[in-house]
Structure 1
Amino acid sequence: MTIDEIRENFALLDDWDDRYRYVIELGRSLAPMPEAEHSAENKVQGCTSQVWLSKHVDCSGEEPVLNYLGDSDAHIVRGLVAILLTLYSGRTPRDILEIDAPSVFEEFGFREHLTPQRSNGLRSMVERIRTDAREALAEAS
């Protein structure tokens, strides 16, 4: 699924209960994360729920590509992780640093519909991925 497909589906849903259900469905579509990757190293700090992001760097091309698996113990947060991975996973560090995930989430209306704790967690996840991208760029140069 692409971010444009998610955007189109969101546009079809007027009611926030329907949108929440859709986000939860997106979370159910996440690739399973192996239990071994539910580690302290992969845990995202700053999230009320438990969130794990595991990074795998593919260096076979000209530029490294960052691929992610993600998981959470909260259904809605798993959905937010799914949206983030749609935006970021499978991209080069430069591409990642150019993506403005907060504006995408704002476009979807999450600013008004997420608790402050969930919003902070979302920011923590974005910052974690952006930090990974900066580190991968530094290692590649």
Structure 2
Amino acid sequence: MDDRLLSEVQQEEKIIQVFDLFRFIRTYKQPLKINDYRDTINIVDEDGVQKGIYFCDLLCNTRYSFDRLLYMPSELISLRKILRIKELWFVIIEESFYAGDLTTSKEFIKNNKVANLYDKIFYFNSSQSTIKILK
């Protein structure tokens, strides 16, 4: 990726985000069409319904401190309107072959009130190609 407006670190994060989006779509049971992946929230279409997807890697999400807005109800309401999305999904990314314990993910969801903010919450293990619906 050669985008002069993004720093090298931002370019790397964007590549990871797009890669996560493609792996999630490949594993997800229903067909999803990508409409936009330029921002932090990816926009997909599922059966004519616009949905926003936010990926969160709890182990190496260096953006977490900067993405606090994605845990604020007023900001998410504004994002829904601006992006014209009907649903907002929160996807926790795991990349371990030995993963399966959802304790850390569930604690994060509870501590950050994610269940109150997002319509659906998924646990996605890309190494095992599994998706678990947490909400």
Higher relative contact order (CA 8 A, sep 6+): 1
Q: TM-score range by the shorter chain?
A: 0.3 to 0.5
Query: Could you state the TM-score of these two structures normalised by the residue count of structure 1?
Result: 0.32
Normalized per residue, which structure has more helix?
1
